[in-house]
Chain A
Amino acid sequence: MPGSPHARSVAIVAFAQSEHSFSDLGWTEADLVMPLVNEVLETTGLQRSEIGFTCSGSNDYLVGTPFSFVAALDTIGAWPPIAESHVEQDAAWALYEAWVRIQHGDVDTALVYGFGKGTVGDYAGISSLSYDPYYVAPLMPGDVGMAGLQARALADAGFAVDPDPTPPPPTDGAAAVILAAGDTARRLCPRPAWITGLDHRIEPHGLGTRDLARSESARQAARHAGVGAGPVEFAELHTRFEHEEALLRRELGLSEECVVNASGGPRKADPVMATGLIRIGEAAARIHDGGARRTVAHAAAGPCLQHNLVCVLEAGEAGTAGTAGTAGEAGED
């Protein structure tokens, strides 16, 4: 855990995202990612050869081409071979893997990127293929159908939400982040956004076994990331649907004063597989630009907020905004 005596201090030292498009401009994966990789390298002054680990997140089904993530590797100079990994998930989980990789102690920097072309495919069909293949996928409920079940459950439970959700705009886009440890982070960035809490939790895949008016996994991830250990000025939440904000505000313990999705959030641009990483990048950017001292980012995956990742970012690496030693609380789950 970040904040534990054994963890290395790791910060986000650079973030870049594409000018997202709501129609297909014929961009390839490399077209989307390359300018961003070059931008974060330029921001930090790092050469490609100085990156210790690279991890990306994407989904081959978005463009219907097996191993499409390999094409994006062209943008990072992967020859001679580099230390590289990929998650078939939102790149927020690639960032998690990169954070773990830096904890090994032998590398000090990591490049994380994610990309998605949401404008060319049938997202209701694509999302359905990610659900239970025996009981759910054959019915093709799609992401909006699944979200509707949660919206209704929340409305029935007394949340002031619209029970009929609308999807975010299909979007093509990408994002890139550079992580660095300790002194390297201080050298590369005048105001590093230190990761003082990072955790992710998942719920059972059986939708009918869950209480959709709660998100126990989001609550636990927030507790273990130490969200409640200090005031949160800005939060970036992976809310593809309006009703999810009310639930996440409660489960993350965010106050009324906390500004959520000042960037516009996923409702304005949703480059699937980069959307979660962008939340972390936007939350870090508020610290880079001096606009905040403590921010929270959230990423989600699966139907009805099944899988939740929470990241706490601070201007001071030891939790200067109120955390004491360990950012994560040990309390009961």
Chain B
Amino acid sequence: MTTQTSATAQTSSTAQHSTTTQTPDSRALHVLEFPGGYTRSTGPVIGRFLTGLRDGRLLGVHTEDGRVLVPPTEYDPQTAAALGGADADWVEVGPAGTVTTWTWVTDPRPDHPLDRPFAWALIKPDGADTALLHAVDAGSKAAMATGMRVHPTWRDDRVGSIKDIACFAPGEGPADVPAPAPAPDGAELEPVSMITVPSRLEYRLRPGTVWNHFIDGMAAGQIRGTRCTTCGKVYVPPRGACPADGLPATEWVDLPDTGVLTTFAVNNVPAAGAPEVPFISGYVLLDGADIAMLVLVSDVPWQEVRLGMRVKAVWVPEAERTRSVKNLKWFAPTGEPDVPFERYEEYV
């Protein structure tokens, strides 16, 4: 994703993954998720705080002017001075604290810390000058108040995450800290340096007019494109606007399912639509089209795939077709002579 990067972020070993399936009301369920979670390195300051959570302790960091920041940041938000470099900069706070503001959640989500109505609150632990966000299990909205005292409830299975605190509860405590599970080999745990956060978003998409007409074609084994009425270029898959002219591309064109391979890649990592490796992805310029289309190439040893190869679509048998682009399985060589590069170089 372009939007989820930071200096310390690392993508998990599993690539971002999205799937789309049809829902009964004609909207498609689209899921965007990072299987196995999105992995980030913590750096020393955040890592030390999260290590403290795993130990069942709340840690803050001193600023130069004597304030204590909880949760700690790598830099002083007021002076930009680097923080937490020395052991003496760190101080244990709380665990009890005071609610500085709050808001009630009537309908918790499945990914919320609690499965019953609760409050989000900013909580200033005793000894801290700033507040951290967490859930307060108050039982009812009437039990919540700014200024109320709360204490953390710790999870048994702590891993070095903000969710090692199950929630906060009203009152001073006792804040019992269940002993963490020992490491399998009895070794001391390493300080926390990474977090892995599940990330899953669901969408309900309604295909637009252009896409619907394209899918209707695919259901019948027909590839459809659109033509710009100004410049005459044919786009496939179809698009509603001509990218050269910025005007509607509204004329429909039925295209043959034959073309020329303009470029390709041999992939050795499985993908959602191609579980077996190596698989070949490539761009095919269909006969009569003005833009190459991303497809799979098969029925040919990968060593024999080449630019300029003539190819033809391989469809699923008519009886098994659905209203889906998956009807078009892949493109396979036709055996015709290769097309000279000059004939398709404009489209590479």
Contacts and interface: CB of A to CB of B under 8 A. Distances in A.
Interface stretch (B182-190, B199-207, B266-274, B306-314): B199-207
Contacts, number: 187
A204 B80 CA distance: 11
Interface string A56-87: 00011101111100010111111100000000
Interface in A1-38: 24-28, 30-31, 34, 37-38
Contacts of A165: 103
B130 A208 contact: yes
Given A66-B2, A135-B133, A206-B73, A122 B243 contact: no
A31 B240 contact: yes
A206 B205 contact: no
Interface in A160-186: 163-165
Given A30-B239, A145-B120, A67 B203 contact: no
B82 interface: no
B242 A148 contact: no
Nearest to B210: A28
B3 A152 contact: no
B201 A126 contact: yes
Interface residues of B, number: 71
Given A26-B206, A28-B208, A134-B162, A64 B32 contact: yes
Nearest to A80: B244
B90 to A, nearest CB: 17
Contact of A149 (B18, B103, B240): B103
Contact of A120 (B109, B133, B204, B209): B204
Tell me the dominant secondary structure on chain B's binding face. mixed
A149 to B, nearest CB: 5
A137 interface: yes
30 contacts: A24-B27, A24-B205, A28-B210, A28-B240, A31-B240, A34-B241, A37-B246, A60-B1, A60-B3, A64-B30, A64-B203, A77-B242, A78-B243, A88-B3, A120-B204, A121-B203, A122-B201, A124-B109, A125-B109, A134-B42, A135-B162, A138-B163, A139-B133, A140-B112, A151-B103, A152-B146, A206-B69, A207-B133, A208-B100, A212-B101
Interface of A: 24-28, 30-31, 34, 37-38, 48, 59-61, 63-67, 71, 73-79, 88, 120-122, 124-126, 129-130, 133-141, 145-153, 156, 163-165, 204, 206-209, 212
